[in-house]
Amino acid sequence: MAKCIRCGGSFLTRSKHQLKDGLICGKCLKELGFDKEDIRLSQIYSYDEIKDGLDVYYKKQQIKDEAIGSVSVSIQNHGQERDLICTEEERAVYDYMARFLKDINADVSPLQLVRVSDDYVTAKYGEWDLARIKYTNRAKWIKFPTVEAAKEKHGIENPDDVLRFHQLIIESVNHIEKYS
Gyration radius of the chain's alpha carbons:
35
Q: What is the mean pLDDT of the chain?
A: 87
Are 45 and 61 spatial neighbours (Cβ–Cβ below 8 Å)? Answer: no
Using a cut of 0.75, tell me whether the model's pTM lies above it: no
Q: How confident is the model at residue 92 (pLDDT cuts 50, 70, 90)?
A: very high
Q: How confident is the model at residue 79 (pLDDT cuts 50, 70, 90)?
A: low
Q: How confident is the model at residue 149 (pLDDT cuts 50, 70, 90)?
A: low
Q: How confident is the model at residue 15 (pLDDT cuts 50, 70, 90)?
A: confident
Closest alpha carbon to 47 in 19, 27, 28: 19
The pLDDT value recorded for residue 40 is 74
57: amino acid identity, one letter:
Y
CATH (one of 2.10.110, 1.10.10, 1.10.1760, 1.10.1790) for 1-57: 2.10.110
| 137 pLDDT above the threshold of 80 | yes
Q: What is the DSSP secondary structure assignment for residue 22, as one 8-state letter?
A: E
How far is CA 39 from its chain centroid?
A: 44
Spans of all domains in the chain: 1-57, 88-179
Are 133 and 146 spatial neighbours (Cβ–Cβ below 8 Å)? Answer: no
